[in-house]
Every structure is written in structure tokens, then in C-alpha cells.
Structure 1
Amino acid sequence: MNEDHSIVIAGESLAGVTTARELRRLGHRGPLTIVGDETHPAYNRPPLSKQVLDRAQPGDATRLQLTDDGITIVRDGAAGLDLDRKHLRLGSGATLPFDKAVIATGASARRLAPPGRTGENVLRTLDDARTLRDRLATAQSAIVIGAGFLGMEVVSACVRERVKVTVIDVEPPLRRLLGPFLSGHVSERATAAGVEILLDPGGVTLIGDPVNGVRFGDGTERTADLIVTCAGDIPNTGWLTGSGLEIAGGLVIDAHTRTSHPDVHGAGDVVTVRTATGLVRRPFWANAVRQGQVAAHAILQHPGAPAVFDDYFWTDLLGTAVKVVGDLPLHGPPEILDGTLADGALLRWRTPHSTTIVAWGLKRPLPRLRALAAAP
């Protein structure tokens, strides 16, 4: 690609910022514009449910620094894409021409309440995290809907703030991703910390306006001072309607981040990746970084691009640090390579096609975990 060509990145997300940084690192010197619809400068999302919710932590520790010269930030929303004219339409009505475009508009929190009903809290943006932090400071009780990674991090914040908390899901905490072995240990730790775990296979509905509780499938109800929904996310692809790009559970890209149009790439939580086994969506921090890097390599036709997935994830569950390198979900019991589950352990799951390493409450550097996962 001509290094003077203009590139527009829709989304001031981690994937969008990473793409811009990598383009500059690889030598692109042409016009480079990032479109972001938040009032805040670019920031990391993992700290939102960790440091930002912890009032003992100094500051928000979320800012993504953009130090490269020549990157223009446009504070507006992406509203449409004209691939014939190669224009990105903004919410203000203005348009931005481009030679290449990158879609990195991320995802939005899935809500259970209908539009217009107040009182439901979610955690996706910096403003969401600050609001939730303030609410935790005054709440006496909370209900968290969804016992995945995000939900259990919110539960952990409730425990830390001494807020009586109930977590509700269709299955035990983290069962879908970590499997029954580790899910059982998460449940044990949560129960020991005073967390109430309730299951409803049909899912709950929200009650009240403002929302102040939930209704179970059997008709019983439960109320609390604070209701937080952690029920997954929805890729921000609505603005691409009519563009002609393939959308299927997200913006469809290939292993080189290419969309169905040769001059448009995608990266981060907005995308679904077409693989040999089907469409796969893995909205983890490390994958957003990796896909931004891959997009830059592909746009510049630069050799040495890494794989489109980097399956690394970390969390903190009720004071237990957890690092995961490798494929999820996990099945069956692991090999215990070091330590014990009570005091911290290094665990390994192996299948004929992959190896997953988990550092459970045990400090191990990421390079060592990657090496173990790659070992034959």
C-alpha cells in the first residue's frame, strides 16, 4: 500500500488505538484518523471492573496513551459507511474520505430492561464504572445478574465494599468457560465470602421502574438497593446496516482481519472471525490487541503478522488472581503442575489439539505460561 494513503479507524477502542500505533510503527506516514464517540480519551476496559471499582486504588488507571504525531482524533460517532465513494459518515452529518478503513467500534453492554426504563446498571464504559463505584459506596444490598468473568468481578467488588450480594445465572459461576472443576472452586470461595448464588435455568426478568429487583421463572421476586446486569455484550454493528459488509454475530473478518470488502478491515469486540471450523467471537482484551496488530500488518502488506487470536485472559475472583493461556472452555479435571488449589496452583488441561494453562492464585510470569501452553 502507498504510505501516503489515508486510513480512517472507526472506534477509539483498544483495537482501534492498537491499529493506529502499529501502523505508525510499521512505517505508515499518511493521514491517520481515529473516530471516537466518547468524551473521554481512549482507555483500557479491563481496569473498569478491577481498579476503578476499588475505591482504595488511586485514580482510574485506564488511559491509553497515543504519543504518535499525525494521528487525528475526531470526537463523533460513526453513523454509516459508503463503500462506493469510500466515505465514513459521522453522526454530525460530516463525512471522512478514506483509502483504507478499520472498523473497531467495539460492543455495548447487553441490557435486560426495555428502553426507557431506569435503574438497571451495566458495566462497559468508564462512566458506567464510576457510577457503579459511587453506588457501591452507599448500597446495602446488590443483585448481580450473570456469573461470568465480569459478573464475578462485580461480585468481588461488592464483597470488598461489604455489600450483601446475590449473583444469579442459568448455571453455576463461570461453568460455561472454566468448566465444572474450577467453577466448583469459584462457587466455594464465593459462598465462603457470604455471596448468595441462585440459579434459574430460564433466566430472570427485571421488575420495577426504576428497576429494583428481579422475577424468577417460578414467579418469586427478589429486590435489592443495586441491580447490575452482566449478561454479555452486543457488537456495535448497527451503523453498518446497508453498507454491504457481512455481519453474522459481529462484523465478519478472516484470519488477516479482512472483511468482505478489500479496503475495509475489522478488529476487536465488534468482529466475528471466520475460521476453518466456523465463525468464532472471542471478545477478550488480548484478542483486541492482537487483531489491531494484524490489521496494521495486512493494510500495509507487511510480513510477519501474528495469529489473529491471542488466547490470554486474566481476572481476580474474590481475591484470587487467575491467568489463563489457551483455549476455553475447559473440560474435566486438570493436571496439577505445581502447588495446591487451596494455596495457589499451576494447572494444565490438554486435548488432542490444544493445551490450556491456568495460574490459579499463583504468581507466574506470562512468558512462562505461554511457554507451557506451547510445549509439546
Structure 2
Amino acid sequence: MAVNNAFVIVGASLAGAKAAQTLREEGFDGPIVLLGEESERPYERPPLSKGYLLGKDERDTVYVHPPQWYAEHDVDLRLGSTATAVDPAGHEVTFADGSRIGYEKLLLTTGSSPRHLTVPGADLDGVHYLRRLADSDRIKESFESASRIVVIGAGWIGLETAAAARAAGVEVTVLEMAELPLLRVLGREVAQVFADLHTDHGVDLRFSVQVAEITGTEGRANGVLLEDGSRITADAVIVGVGITPNTQLADAAGLEVDNGIRVDAHLRTSHPDIYAAGDVANAFHPLLVKHIRVEHWANAVNQPQVAAKAMLGQDVAYDRVPYFFTDQYDLGMEYTGYVEPGGYDQVVFRGRRETREFIAFWLSGGRVLAGMNVNVWDVTDPIRALVTSGRAVDAGKLADVDVPLAQLLKHPDATG
């Protein structure tokens, strides 16, 4: 029987769980239904390529809430439930078994899926993608038996899994189409820092290469063949070549989709009673004055809180500056801000790159677009303030470690 006054959340992810939590914290006492395809209750994804994969974090630490939280807060958590259709006019969600549920408001937190290789051998055993908890378990198990692995893709997932493999004593080769790791994200100046980091830890980095085939024997991967004819042997292959937003439900429902589900600053879709948050949402950002889709943890934590409040009729907008972090070997990093590829004209370093203790700032016209602190802590607030201020700063003072970052905002004579 349909629950017509329910707030339904499709996607029992971190974003979905945070939305349910916010609805209750904001005083909503109506039915909340949280639907998820997986059998696991909502969990966080960063540990899957960081602490959990490294064996530093116990399995219980990855979950958003204790198992009893959902019953205690009267959240109807339905795991193993695959939504197959959304009917905006009828305010209903249909499931794989043909059953339906009605809703008053609907939130889509359907996340994203890894892009899969289409080369021969891509479906062999021993080829891994990292998105779900079970994926991390399988990769961790492969570290125990493998002596050598190949990682395809030098993005954040690829580099973090490479670092975890090296920590487990496994030989690692990383294959990347671009000239440097993270080149589109960080630009050449900062990308080189991560190339040097992994080289210093014994990773065999190969750039400007194309994968032709994953080779195997008896149905199991045993190496990677490149288009130049060279072959790298491996006991396992990890693929990290990006993710694709899960927009299938929105597409079929006739919602506006463009690099994700297109939403306004209130996270409302093209239908007034349907919202979207997290990886799947391409949201209008008031500060940047454009739509952006951010695939990072902070968005999955904070965006659904705004969506939940908007569903309750509150006048709220999501205007947080994007933030993400990584831990690789002895390098810890936080990044605050947003820069499109090629969207900056200067990179300013503050600190010592040779010891990997610095802050890098991306500037355009003297304005700070983003800042990345590497092994320098407790500076995200002033970096965020510099980004949101929209003020031009003196690059010399920005680079000077003796000039406090906060001073660049307080004194007019610090501006350019």
C-alpha cells in the first residue's frame, strides 16, 4: 500500500542517510523511507580507498549510523530494494518486483558508478573496480596474495589504491593516458608533486600510455598489454578511470539531466517535489554562478542537509565551497575551492615543495580560486575565506609564510 505523505529517499548512501538524519533533526515527524540497492546499511566511501583498505580502520567505522539508529528514529530503511521507475505526476516510485510506494517529496541520492573498460579481457577475474564496500574487501584480499598489481588510471582512486598496495608490500605499476597524475584536476605544477611522491615510494609510473588488452589465463587476469606492444605482468588489475552519475531514474522520469541531475541552488530538480544531492547532482552554485557536479565526500555530507531542509519548505541554498582530501603514504592533503581545467593563470606556492609541506594556491586575475594544503594543518578556514572573498591578493604576500593568511583579508594594503 502506497504511503502518500512519505518523504522517500532513493539511495541508501551517505547522502541518503544524512538527509534522513536532517529531516528528523529539523522536526519532521512523518514517514521517511530510505531505499538502497545494496544489502549494507549506509556507509562512507573514503575509508574504502584509505583507512579501511589499509587495514587501519575496522569495518564498523565505515557506517554512517549504528544499525539501531534507523529504527530508533523511525526511518524505514529498505535494503536490497532496486527502484526501477519514478512517476513524477503520480508521485510514485516503482520497484523491480513491481511494487510501488507513494511520496510527498522525493530525494534522489543515487550516486555514481565506476566507468568500465571496454578492452578485451576487462571482464576477467582479478580485475577490480572500487566503489562499494565489497569491492574494497576484494581488493584488500588481493593484496594478501598478489606480488604485483597494475593500476589503470592515476586519479585519486588509482593513486590511493596504489599507496595502499605499496603499504601492503605489493609491487605496483600505474598506467595513465595523461602526461602526469591528476593533470586535469591539479595542473602540471602540482601534479608533479604526486608523481614524485609515488616514484619515491617505488611505484612504476607510466604516462601517455593506452591499454589495449587485459591478458589472462584460465579466466583470470595476469597482465596488461599496451598499444605499443609492451606487456606488464600482474596478479591483479585495479581500474580507476572515473565515474558516471546514476541518472537513469531521472532520465526516464523526464527530469532535466546534464552531467548529472540538474538542480537549482536549493537542490530542487525540474520537478518541484523531486530533489537530488551528492555525486548525482549537478547543482547551481551561488558563489561560482554556474552549475557544478562534485564527486567528493564533503558534498555527500553537506548537500543533503540543504536538500532535506528545502524539502521541508525552508529557504536554504547550497553555497559551500567544494572540499576534498586525500592520504597517501606520509602525505596528507586538503583541497578547498573549485578550478576548472585551465581556468587559472597562476599557481603560488607557500612553503617547501621539496619536503611536501606547503600550500598551493590557484589564482585567476589575482583572485584565489582554490587552495591545497599539503602536510600543513588548520588552514582550511582562512583558505576558504580567501576563496569566498573574491578579492585580489598580493601573490608575494600569499607566498610568504611569515604573513598570516588572515592578514591578507584584514588589511586593504595587502590587496593587489
Q: Please, what TM-score do these two structures have when normalized by structure 1? A: 0.91
Q: Which amino acid aligns with 2:276?
A: G
Describe the superposition over 1:319-349 as per-residue Cα deviations: whole angstroms up to 9, x where unpaired.
2001111113575663333455415113322
Letter in 2 for 1:336: F
**Which residue number corresponds to residue 10 of structure 1?**
10
Amino acid at match of 2:245: P
Partner of 1:177: 185
Partner of 2:373 in structure 1?
359
* Distance in 1 between residues matched to 2:332 and 2:36, nearest whole Å: 32
Q: Is contact 1:52–1:60 with CA below 8 Å preserved after alignment?
A: no
Report the 3-state secondary structure (helix = DSSP H, G, I; strand = E; otherwise coil) of the residue aligned with 1:92: coil
1:159 corresponds in structure 2 to: 166
Name the aligned partner's letter for residue 188 of structure 2: P
Q: What corresponds to 1:192 in structure 2?
A: 200
Residue in structure 2 matching 1:257, options 264, 267, 270: 267
Q: How many residues align?
A: 372
Shift of 1:36: 1.0
C-alpha contact 2:211 2:224 (8 A) present in aligned 1? no
* Change in CA separation of 1:116 and 1:216 when aligned onto 2, cut-off 3 Å: closer
Q: Equivalent residue of 2:175, what SS?
A: strand
Query: Per the alignment, in what secondary structure is the counterpart of residue 53 of structure 1?
Result: helix
For 1:243-284, what per-residue CA distance to the aligned partner results, in whole angstroms no more than 9, with x for missing partners? 111222322222221111111111111222356876532211
More helix by share: 2
**Deviation per residue, 1:269-311 (Å, 9 max, x gap):** 122235687653221111222320221122112134441x531
Match of 1:297 among 286, 296, 309: 309
* Contact 2:151/2:158 (8 A) holds in 1: yes
In structure 2, distance between residues paired with 1:213 and 1:116:
13
Q: Which of 241, 254, 264 is 1:244 aligned to?
A: 254
| Distance (whole Å) between structure 2 residues aligned to residue 264 and residue 306 of structure 1 | 16
- Note the aligned Cα RMSD (angstroms): 2.4
> Does the Cα contact within 8 Å between 1:179 and 1:329 map onto a contact in 2?
no
How far did residue 242 of structure 1 move?
A: 2.7
Preserved contact between residue 175 and residue 209 of structure 2 (Cα < 8 Å): no
Counterpart contact for 1:179–1:332, Cα < 8 Å = no
Query: Which amino acid letter does the alignment assign opposite residue 278 of structure 2?
Result: G
Gaps of 5+ in 1: none
- Provide, for residues 98-157 of structure 1, a one-character-per-residue CA deviation record: whole Å limited to 9, x for no partner: 011001011112221578543310110111001111111111001001101111001101
Matches within 5 A, 1:259-338: 259-274=269-284, 279-307=291-319, 309-329=320-340, 331=344, 334-338=347-351
Name 1:79's counterpart in structure 2: 84
Higher Cα radius of gyration: 2
Aligned mate of 2:239, from 229, 236, 239: 229
- More displaced, 207-216 or 271-280? 271-280
Which residue in the other structure is 1:41 paired with? 41
Structure 2 residue runs of 5 or longer lacking an equivalent are: 392-416
Q: In structure 2, what is the Cα distance between the partners aligned to 1:196 and 1:60?
A: 34
Q: Is the 8 A contact 1:321 1:360 kept in 2?
A: yes
Per-residue CA distance 1:150-178 (angstroms, 9 max, x = gap): 11001101111111100011111111111
**Cα gap change, 1:355 to 1:205, in 2 (>3 Å):** same
Tell whether 2:39 aligns with 1:69.
Answer: no
Distance (Å, rounded) in 1 between the aligned partners of 2:39 and 2:275: 25
* Identity fraction in percent: 30
Q: Which has the higher contact order (CA 8 A, sep 6+)?
A: 1
